[in-house]
Structure 1
Amino acid sequence: MRLSSSQLSSHLTRGLAPIYIVAGEEPLLIQESLDAIRAKARKDGYSERETLDVDKSFNWQRVVDSCASMSLFATRRIVEINLPSGAPGVEGSKVLQQLASKPPQDVLLILICGAIEWRSRSGAWYMAFETNGAALYFEPMQAGEFKPWLESRMKLAGVDLEPEALSLLAERTEGNLLAASQDIYKLNLLYPNSRITVDELENAVADSARYEAFDFIALMQQGDAPGAVRSLNRLREEGFEVMEILGALLWSLRTWAKAQAAYAQSGDAGSACQQAGVPRKNQAQLSKALIRTRLPQVYGWLRRCATIDSAAKSTGGKEQAWEELLILTLAASGAASRRVP
């Protein structure tokens, strides 16, 4: 079955599907869907989780073995496959189709992807997940969908804005779900149980941190790891919160991903930047980044943004959020050899 984010909650109250594919181009919705599925699984007794990260050298027999093996500590397990590219290849397609057609007993199989080409979503492996389990695919939210989504999100959070303030917030955050979510979170903390005016919104949601964050991101894209780390530390010392930096970072990474995909096809960094709509003043720095990175890496960093967001909002998670952001900074700057999933 196909599910939207709004349908997931009612679906989970009826019970888990045996297999899920959670994919698309909206990291916030992907991460929140995964969190909801995992929470339901824990409640239903899935007490162990194994994660398999797919790269070019990945042996797909590992997935088969993981699904077939018995655990010494848990009778029900979650097996997650991280496939950032959304392209399993010939061998992977066969394995995924086989497992989806006959889901393993006492195993909840979750396939996590970035963007998947529409042709692949018509392929046998994807259709097998959709037919025998549940598929959540998040296309980039269209302009007409954003404001209703924002209003729904505010209602769930108990945030009430005057009409003019709502329009201003929608204008500032349109197309950036994570930034909108962060702003709603901040407004809920600052103005609980009150109707928020335009002036109050202006005071609460200042753009200064985002502008300074773009300077930090420029150093990261240029491959200047020491400079990026110094810039990040300076933002922290000046009192900025992770949440204030993350919106700009997510927007930049999404643009980076679009340009990286174009570069993979053309091999021309300048043309790829233009195709992705990168401002002229930023094209030189991003061109450097395109040459040294690959699309699965960028998708991994996008997913990590949602993880950082969750940590920043959790009780006692502030320090973890900064640590995760530093790891991402080093990886995206080219200084860290380890892959950030």
Structure 2
Amino acid sequence: MSLDCLLPTQNSTIALISSDELLLLRDYLDKTRLAFREAGFEDIQTHYIEPGFDWEAQSASSNMSLFSILSLTIYYFFSAKPGIVGARAIAELCEKANPEDVILLVMPKLDASAKKSAWLKKVQKAGQFVELKPIYSNQLVGWLEQRAQFKQFSISHDAARFLADRTEGNLLAADQELEKLTLLFDGNEELSLDQVAESVANQSRFSNFELADCCLRGDSRKAVKVLLSQQAEGVANLALLGTLKNYIEQLAQVIGVLGNPQALQQVWRQTRIWDTKQNLYINAAKRLGPIRTEKLLAQCALIDRKEKGQEVHPIAHAKLKPISADIEDQEMLKLIHDFSGMTK
């Protein structure tokens, strides 16, 4: 079942919404909150379920209300496998949920085993299971055209195709590009390919994705140029690192199935790597191999800890903070060198 949002009806007691598309989840939940507020649900709470979440304390606090008010409680699960404790808690939520105390569970995409689980069957028996389908590559151009209309402007088919190619199926990135266009144009005319391409080119000389693409291609000279440009423009190392780490993790998955065409096709689907980039990943996988890729992930983890202040370089302390920052920039540079194959 899939609707624009969960509606507050007599049948709405508990629902599970599942998707790996963050933008679709965000839209669905925003519309759901609005619908419930308009229906008089004054108490809308959100909880994030991580390992060690205290379900007993949460259950006790939810039972302490002295007044009968309409409530919607949203539980965000960071995994589609809630575990034994989580499954038991979901079963209890199914029993206590009612039209005045609605429960909404939010999870990543459920795999085949999760769809056969006892806890999901209880949710389906007590309420609804909503699975938001992804926007596939052959649907993205049409989705961009509709999304532009939703934002009160229109773009040509060629312009939509240009944005689809640029964002490569990343709905959040595509939506951000459309949002920027709403700030640049008044919406009185359909935007042409030339207008959209020029505005995108003027927004930024380089992007985090271009940095990662250079590394995949083994173009170390261009990769260093993009890195230094991004840092000069004030882009934080953590933002750059997040993109690089995502690419390296995808690369590790490709390496793991490189000799298995069927498994490789599954990785392409799961990681949403488009046809135009698959050869980049294959060539990078052959160039780097599993051991060097593992080292790259270890480098990412180390830089991440240092950027967040969780690990300090031996020579860095309060008086040497500029030196510490320079060291972290040098470590980013080394990561780029190693990823692009400049060093071994």
2:188 to 189, 193, 196: 193
Q: TM-score normalized by structure 2? A: 0.62
TM-score calculated relative to the size of structure 1: 0.62
Give the aligned residue type for 1:179: A
Aligned identity (percent) is 22
Q: Distance in 2 between matches of 1:285 and 1:255?
A: 14
Q: Structure 1 residue 255: deviation in Å?
A: 5.0
One-letter code of the match for 2:22? Answer: P
Distance 1:13 1:60 in 2: 25
In 2, Cα distance between the equivalents of 1:138 and 1:331? Answer: 34
- Greater RCO, CA 8 A, separation 6+: 1
Partner in structure 2 of residue 126 of structure 1: 120
| Structure 1 position 183 matched with structure 2 position 177 | yes
Tell me the equivalent position of 1:206.
201
Q: Would you say the 8 A contact 1:81–1:111 is kept in 2?
A: yes
Partner of 2:108: 114
Aligned to 2:225: none
1:235 paired residue number = 233
Change (3 A) 1:163 1:24: closer
* Contact persistence 1:24–1:115 (CA under 8 A): yes
**Number of corresponding residues:** 273
Residues 123 and 137 of structure 1, relative CA distance in 2, 3 Å threshold: same
Write the mapping of 1:141-160 to structure 2, written as runs, cut at 5 A: 141-160=135-154
Instruction: Give 1 or 2 for the bigger CA radius of gyration.
Output: 2
Alignment counterpart, residue 89 of structure 1, candidates 73, 83, 87: 83
Q: What corresponds to 1:99 in structure 2?
A: 93
Rate the CA distance shift 1:149–1:214 in 2: closer, same or farther, 3 A.
Answer: closer
- The Cα shift of 1:35 comes to 1.4
Tell me if structure 2 keeps the 8 A contact 1:101–1:128: no
- Are the counterparts in 1 of residues 162 and 197 from structure 2 also a CA contact under 8 Å? no
Contact 1:47 1:76 in 2 (8 A): yes
Distance 1:208 1:330, change over 3 A: farther
- Corresponding position: 1:39 with 2:37: no
- The amino acid of 1:121's aligned partner reads K
Structure 1: which 5+ runs fail to align? 219-229, 263-268, 295-328
1:58 is aligned, of 53, 60, 71, to 53
* Long gaps (5+) in structure 2: 214-227, 259-263, 272-277, 312-344
Does the Cα contact within 8 Å between 1:217 and 1:249 map onto a contact in 2? no
Q: 2:53 aligns to what SS in structure 1?
A: coil
- After superposition, the CA RMSD in angstroms is 4.4
Paired residue secondary structure (2:40): coil
Q: Is the 8 A contact 1:173 1:180 kept in 2?
A: yes
Aligned amino acid, residue 89 of structure 2? V
Do the aligned residues in 2 keep the contact of 1:100 with 1:128 (CA within 8 Å)? yes
